[in-house]
Structure 1
């Protein structure tokens, strides 16, 4: 009799799970949830790349050496790495909505405060605080999306990650112009206010999961630590670290390399990087959708995209005219961000929904180590050699290492 009851319970649980999955796929609110976390990620990324769009002219006015222009970006990602580890675990305990709000509200305050920066030291401290505040927004999004999307998760991840590339477009299109018209301080004041406001929107309207779905059991410390022994997550973390070494390093230095080396104006350089972002905006949902197709290997897609990324960095380094930059930039943008949704979908698959926040947090913490170091590394290379080619080759090392790491990822990660 006891065996029959257990079997009945298992069948009932299976039926409930299937029912919840159908409701999730049919719920129109899942697109609202995706939009809220997407917009939060967008604003967070605009805040972090805004400095790069005005680094050369504003850095000179603040008396910052060219080799240290990437110090603010490095400071941001240092705080971001720490916050990702903590934020990932908090997301699994508090839920995506609470964690998203706790990320955006202080980020808005600190971004507003960065507009008051008068020295290198002050700017580094505030950027460190900005990174620490922003670190949990990614994990919150990565927790919410698997709860609302199952069969088309790759597409959802692709749409979600368009936030970062669109942020590059918006930051380069808006921040230099606002700075030229109203002053760079006012530009950061505006960004801070909008970010804070969206934190309120997240608190009021975001839902962690469909109404008919049970809240997942709380993760134990043992389960979270067990993720550190997951081979696929380890190598996906190394691959993401290598990829973001180049992605963030280029984002931090792309404008400055063109303005300082070739005398291109900040507004034109911003337009070129905006076209770079447009290429990424198109590539991300496209590659994410392709990765959802039956029989498609996300691992192979990641490898090919990362290889193309390294090649395009070298080609960009050989350009010297505005026309050449405009031609190459969108293609570079497509590959420099296109691998991200495919890697993110593999991380979600490798960990499962219940541990999605923790796995996203600690893997992204390792990813961002490349982000934290590369701006200073490129700054030292360029500051010492004044060679754009060597600076871009320094970045290209990252995707090559990422390809090697992907070779150790399993070819058969189950999609959940």
Structure 2
């Protein structure tokens, strides 16, 4: 491993087509975020229009992750077997159609079905995208590459609430917003097929937009077994994963991480709109505050992983999760009308609940051979999405409405604090040593 790292540092790539690939993947995943984030932002007005209760709203937000979790597992395995590009194509076609159809929804039951369908479509996207990054970036760049990619997790929530509320205000209704947001998916399909190839080998052989120097640089420091091209048997990959204690711990960490992240994203708009009394447009701007600082946190976390911790994820995870505990308690106690204190609490929440994002998703790329990375990411993220499902749903039952009509989300943030504490403690027990797999069969 040390010999590979030294070789990688000595090589200097002539071109940077791997960064073009990363930019396209980033843009495609930003498109992926358009519908899911727009629904959450506009949920208070959609809930009123369709006469939906808080509990039903929680189910609508959470049911997305049932389809998302199932699709993650299947998409990860398919990416390892038939190629990431084909699987991402399926994803874009499905979620583009569902985005448009969301503007036509008229009932709670139809809304639930559409959210389930959207989850299946968008769930086919992340694992193949991560597999592509694993194939295109050497180990000494994976932290930065993955962190830059995961900024979409927050660029979307930072920009889309402003865009969605502005469009809804312009049209005078939330429905046309989803007709407009269906258009970028069509552009995304073209970009995927024109710019992205599954591996550097395929690009060098068929299209030639990567130099031999860059190709050698990438391959000089990758987690491989014995063959760059031979596929690993799925049964072998599953056996390796489910007998690895660190992988089990990682799945649990991802469960609590996604529970916190999506719990925040689902309910932050309603928290600001109902508990703190912001107008729709002002709420859109305030809901973007955590995501704006989160973009900085994600980039910083990736740099720290590559340059300071040299590929070690556990300490960055602990740095992110553990401070979240007091921050969530602070957020739950901010009195109505104290905008400055509320803004500070939102900034702290956005920073510390996201600085570990790049390190978290880089971990499987560093731990396992690249022939099984898609499967590892698909299974772990599939399990993790159960947290995305349960937290928003449970939060809907924790929202309290007083006899006077005042709404309180305090218990919701206390639940998030407990989840962050568990994730932080588990992070300290992860093994950082690359998993050696001698046989592909």
TM-score, with length taken from structure 2: 0.86
Answering whether residue 378 of structure 2 is matched by residue 366 of structure 1, we say no
Residues 371-382 of structure 1: pairs in structure 2 closer than 5 A: 371-382=388-399
CA 172–62 in structure 1, closer or farther in 2 if over 3 Å, else same: same
Q: Deviation digits for residues 32-71 of structure 1, max 9, x if unmatched?
A: 1001111111121232121110111121111001232222
Q: Which moved more, 1:232-241 or 1:306-315?
A: 306-315
Q: Distance in 1 between matches of 2:393 and 2:30?
A: 24
Match of 1:260 in 2: 274
CA 22–86 in structure 1, closer or farther in 2 if over 3 Å, else same: farther
Contact kept, 8 Å, 2:369 with 2:435, in 1: the verdict is no
Q: Which moved more, 1:137-146 or 1:313-322?
A: 313-322
Answering whether residue 92 of structure 2 is matched by residue 79 of structure 1, we say no
Answering whether residue 190 of structure 2 is matched by residue 200 of structure 1, we say yes
Match of 1:309 in 2: 324
Q: CA deviation at 1:294?
A: 5.3
Answering whether residue 390 of structure 2 is matched by residue 390 of structure 1, we say no
Q: CA RMSD in A?
A: 2.3
Match of 2:431 in 1: 410
Contact kept, 8 Å, 1:378 with 1:395, in 2: the verdict is no
Q: Distance in 2 between matches of 1:291 and 1:414?
A: 19
Contact kept, 8 Å, 2:40 with 2:269, in 1: the verdict is yes
Aligned with residue 90 of structure 1, among 78, 84, 91: 78
SS at the partner of 1:354?
A: helix
Q: CA deviation at 1:388?
A: 2.1
Q: Distance in 2 between matches of 1:89 and 1:411?
A: 24
Q: Distance in 2 between matches of 1:326 and 1:376?
A: 26
Q: CA deviation at 1:253?
A: 0.3
Return 5+ residue gaps in structure 2 as ranges. 205-214, 220-226, 437-441
Aligned with residue 31 of structure 1, among 19, 41, 50: 19
Contact kept, 8 Å, 2:398 with 2:409, in 1: the verdict is no
CA 114–22 in structure 1, closer or farther in 2 if over 3 Å, else same: farther
Q: Distance in 2 between matches of 1:174 and 1:104?
A: 21
Q: Distance in 2 between matches of 1:240 and 1:295?
A: 20
Aligned with residue 332 of structure 1, among 349, 355, 359: 349
Match of 1:174 in 2: 163
SS at the partner of 1:246?
A: helix
Answering whether residue 47 of structure 2 is matched by residue 62 of structure 1, we say no
Q: CA deviation at 1:360?
A: 0.8
Contact kept, 8 Å, 2:367 with 2:432, in 1: the verdict is no
Match of 1:274 in 2: 288
Match of 2:117 in 1: 129
Return 5+ residue gaps in structure 1 as ranges. 1-13
- Larger % of helix: which? 1
Q: CA deviation at 1:242?
A: 0.6
Aligned with residue 218 of structure 1, among 228, 231, 238: 231
SS at the partner of 1:409?
A: coil
TM-score, with length taken from structure 1: 0.91
Contact kept, 8 Å, 2:143 with 2:303, in 1: the verdict is yes
Q: Deviation digits for residues 290-325 of structure 1, max 9, x if unmatched?
A: 111255542111112101122222211122333322
Aligned with residue 36 of structure 2, among 48, 53, 69: 48
Q: CA deviation at 1:94?
A: 1.9
Match of 1:242 in 2: 256
Answering whether residue 180 of structure 2 is matched by residue 190 of structure 1, we say yes
Q: Distance in 2 between matches of 1:411 and 1:68?
A: 42
Q: Distance in 1 between matches of 2:57 and 2:317?
A: 31
Q: Distance in 2 between matches of 1:383 and 1:78?
A: 26
SS at the partner of 1:338?
A: coil
Contact kept, 8 Å, 1:106 with 1:196, in 2: the verdict is no
